Amino acid sequence: MSKRSLIQDFIHGKHNHSRCVQEAVLRAEAVCAARSERFTPLRRIVLELVWGSHKPIKAYDLLAQLAEFHERPAPPTVYRALDFLLEAGLIHKLQSLNAYVGCADPDRDHQGQFLICGNCGIVAELDDKSITDSIDLNARRMGFRIDDETVEIKGLCKDCQ
């Protein structure tokens, strides 16, 4: 399925989300194995919670959900799990919302570009290398070193317009 039709499906809710979560877990297992890191139960639960929907989740809400069905882990442990998942490229952080969203393509090194619906909150990840290349080129021209490159675009999704 093409990336665009996937985005349309997310937006219209026409997909089997449990498959998204299953696939995210399988990818995470593979990524951890490749990095010789452990995919601990907490890392797994945190990943599954971030993948709870295609809407970003704040750390605060994540902690509240964890308290419901897991022995309440200490917040620093949860933040460490989030940092691990970020570092491994399994999730992205949306700075403007201070919230996390799962990445469907962690195997490939990429900088996220996100379309964020200001009404329903759904986020679609674009991955257009030409955008990244253009930012890189222009930054270099200005002698600017990029540390973090996430493009966040706010608007209204098709259903919310």
Residues that bind Zn ion (CB under 5 A): 17, 20, 103, 112, 117, 119-120, 157, 160
Least distance (Å) between residue 68 CB and Zn ion: 21
Q: Closer to Zn ion at the Cβ: 75 or 105? A: 105
Comparing CB distances to Zn ion, the nearer of 44 and 55 is 55
- The single-letter code of the amino acid at 120 is C
Task: Between 77 and 87, name the residue whose CB sits nearer to Zn ion.
Answer: 87
Residue 71: CB minimum distance to Zn ion, A: 28
Q: State how far Cα 66 lies from the chain centre.
A: 18
Shortest gap between Cβ of 159 and Zn ion (angstroms)?
5
Q: Cβ(116)–Cβ(154) under 8 Å?
A: yes
CB of 26 to Zn ion, least distance (A): 14
Q: How far is the CB of 107 from Zn ion (least distance, A)?
A: 10
Closest CA to 122 of 106, 95, 99, 148: 99
Q: With respect to Zn ion, which residue has the nearer C-beta, 13 or 75?
A: 13
Nearer to Zn ion, 1 or 142 (CB): 1
